[in-house]
Amino acid sequence: MQRRAYHHALRSHFPSFLRATFHSLNPSQPFIPNWHLDALHEMIRYMDATPASRFIVNMPPRSLKSLALTVAWSAYLLGRDPATKIITASYSSAISIKHALDVRSLVTQPWFMHAFSDFQMMAGQNEKHKFVTTKHGFRLATSVGGSLTGEGGDVIIIDDPLNPAQAHSVHYRHRANQWFDHTLSSRLNDKHQGRMLLVMQRLHEDDLTGHLLHKGGWECVRLPALAQQPLSIAIGDWRKEMAAGELLQPKRETHALLEQLRRDLGSHAFQAQYLQQPTAQDGDVVRQEWLHEVSIMPDTFDYTLQSWDTAIKTGEQHDYSACVTIGVLAGMMYIRDVWAGRVDYPELKRAVLALAHRWKPNVVLIEDKASGQSLLQELRTEPSLTLIPIQPKGDKLTRVARITPMLEAAHVLFPRHASWMPALRDELLRFPHASHDDQVDALAQGVHWWRERHAAMQPSIRTL
């Protein structure tokens, strides 16, 4: 009788099913009940009872959003009705396949097969990205930008269509939004009955959540890690009031831990990912209060690097070439020197050698494009230089956004009285609207390179 009651609970009570899912896929970790999981249950009940429902859930990282809604709900739907056709999508094929394999593992668990005896996978139709049931239902996993020709679903689940690095790129945001509009949104088998769910952490004002809310027709539930002001959460007839200062998961994330995350991520990223309230960055990517200046610089450093952003032409309307020299001491980065000039190639080469002779860097970073490629080729025989070619990833805004947590957390220090400091400060504060951004490019390249390769020396800084 107990076993029958347990199997009945798995079939009819999603929180019970979620707990069993968690224990099956995370056997060494404790399951921590919390009211936000009840909210997800209410949302699922609401979507089951509401034809053509369109729902958005914004939740912070590590709050079981993928396990609950992309993995567990998929299996729950197919267990209750093996004829259901489900399409899921995430920002990368690797993540989509990982979720698909979790679901496939789940539906082969003995408890699942006992609770959902009608469910059976069709022989020969069991692939990593798609399995088909004997009732001709299926779960199909794809990624943003993937083809869905010939496929249609009863339920569509989009789980994090962007990652944090992609969110800073206009290209990736536009790609995700357009793929939804022109591909995924037309894949419902029945437009009057089919359900669509977007679950994600907010990343930018114009991420897919922002895009869909602007278009209208979607309901949205925002679950911040910390309520900054009183917040009322409503799903159908279900209500939850969060008081100002209340934590979403107090047993997992304390105020102190969230404050550390804010310092690590930077306020822009934390505001979006953890509070689900992205703010505009245009015009204030770098803030005045993040430029921490010191009157006295150290005499010696543990490590010195130079970062070059080189231009092709020398006319007044063209960009400068720029070099930023960075000294590292006890994990802190000090901007020792900035050089910028419109020079022809022979003079640029002489400048690289002269600045290297003056500051004696351990490495010289040169962007591997345009005149930088020629420099890398011609200087590779110089015994005093350790050259590192840099392939830039992402657009300029993305590259600068990557280093803002370092600036905000005072891990990068500037000399208050340096003659070049006013020009660098002006370029940073006006970015991305300044007429030139060469010094900013060189700075971002150097800081990001050190951060990525020496993270062990700065354990509190996390890669976005």
* The pairing of beta strand 303-309 with beta strand 321-329: antiparallel
Q: Using the Cα atoms of residue 93, residue 94, residue 97 and residue 103 in order, give the sign of their dihedral.
A: negative
Torsion of CA 287, 288, 289, 294, to 10 degrees: 130
Say if residue 281's pLDDT is above 90. no
Whole-number Å distance between alpha carbons of 68 and 59: 12
Look at 449 and 166; give whichever has higher pLDDT: 449
Helix, coil or strand: residue 459: coil
* The pairing of beta strand 231-235 with beta strand 238-242: antiparallel
Kindly report whether the peptide bond that precedes residue 432 is cis, defined as omega within 30 degrees of 0.
yes
Distances (CA, A) of 5 to 13, 16, 31, 115, 350: 11, 11, 21, 10, 81
Q: Which domains does the chain have, with CATH numbers?
A: 2-273 (3.40.50.300), 288-457 (3.30.420.240)
Q: What is the mean pLDDT of residues 115-138?
A: 91
How far is residue 260 CA from its own chain's centroid?
Answer: 18
Highest mean pLDDT among 21-25, 44-48, 144-148, 288-292: 21-25
pTM above 0.75, yes or no: no
Look at 376 and 392; give whichever has higher pLDDT: 376
- HSE-CB for 392 with a 13 A CA cutoff: 24
* The pairing of beta strand 303-309 with beta strand 85-90: unpaired
> What does residue 323 show for φ and ψ, rounded to 5 degrees?
-135, 130
- CB within 8 Å of 76: residues ≥ 6 apart: 14, 17, 44
Give residue 246's pLDDT: 95
Say if residue 286's pLDDT is above 60. yes
Whole-number Å distance between alpha carbons of 294 and 306: 20
Whole-number Å distance between alpha carbons of 264 and 274: 12
For 217-276, write each residue's pLDDT tens digit: 899 999 999 998 888 898 988 999 999 999 999 999 999 999 999 888 888 889 899 999
Kindly state the DSSP code that residue 63 receives in the 8-state scheme: S
Say if residue 113's pLDDT is above 90. yes
**How many CB atoms sit inside 10 A of residue 404's CB?**
22
Is 386 within 8 Å of 328 (Cβ atoms)? no
**Identity of the residue numbered 388:** I
Look at 267 and 313; give whichever has higher pLDDT: 267
- Name the β-bridge partners of 294: 415
Q: Which helix (H) or strand (E) holds 213?
A: helix 208-215
- CB within 8 Å of 83: residues ≥ 6 apart: 133, 135, 136, 137
Whole-number Å distance between alpha carbons of 11 and 5: 10
Q: What is the mean pLDDT of residues 435-457?
A: 85
Distances (CA, A) of 86 to 103, 133, 161, 234, 456: 12, 12, 17, 26, 42
Say if residue 459's pLDDT is above 50. no
**Spatial CA neighbour of 167 closest among 72, 281, 71:** 281
Is 137 within 8 Å of 78 (Cβ atoms)? yes
**Spatial CA neighbour of 113 closest among 31, 11, 44:** 11
**Spatial CA neighbour of 428 closest among 450, 449, 406:** 406
**In 277-406, which ranges are E strands?**
292-294, 303-309, 321-329, 332-341, 363-367, 387-390
**Tokens at 143, concatenated:** 């990624």
Say if residue 32's pLDDT is above 70. yes
Q: What is the mean pLDDT of residues 158-168?
A: 90
Give ∠ CA 145-147-153 in degrees, rounded to 5: 105
Say if residue 285's pLDDT is above 70. yes
For 72-87, write each residue's pLDDT tens digit: 999 999 999 999 999 9
Say if residue 460's pLDDT is above 90. no
Q: Which helix (H) or strand (E) holds 349?
A: helix 345-359
- Name the β-bridge partners of 65: none
- CB within 8 Å of 391: residues ≥ 6 apart: 368
Whole-number Å distance between alpha carbons of 270 and 263: 8
- HSE-CB for 221 with a 13 A CA cutoff: 29
Please report where in the chains the tokens 């015009």 appear, as a residue.
Answer: 283
Q: What is the mean pLDDT of residues 268-293?
A: 83
**How many CB atoms sit inside 10 A of residue 300's CB?**
7
Whole-number Å distance between alpha carbons of 159 and 386: 43
Say if residue 194's pLDDT is above 90. yes
pLDDT band at residue 125 using 50, 70 and 90 as cut-offs: confident
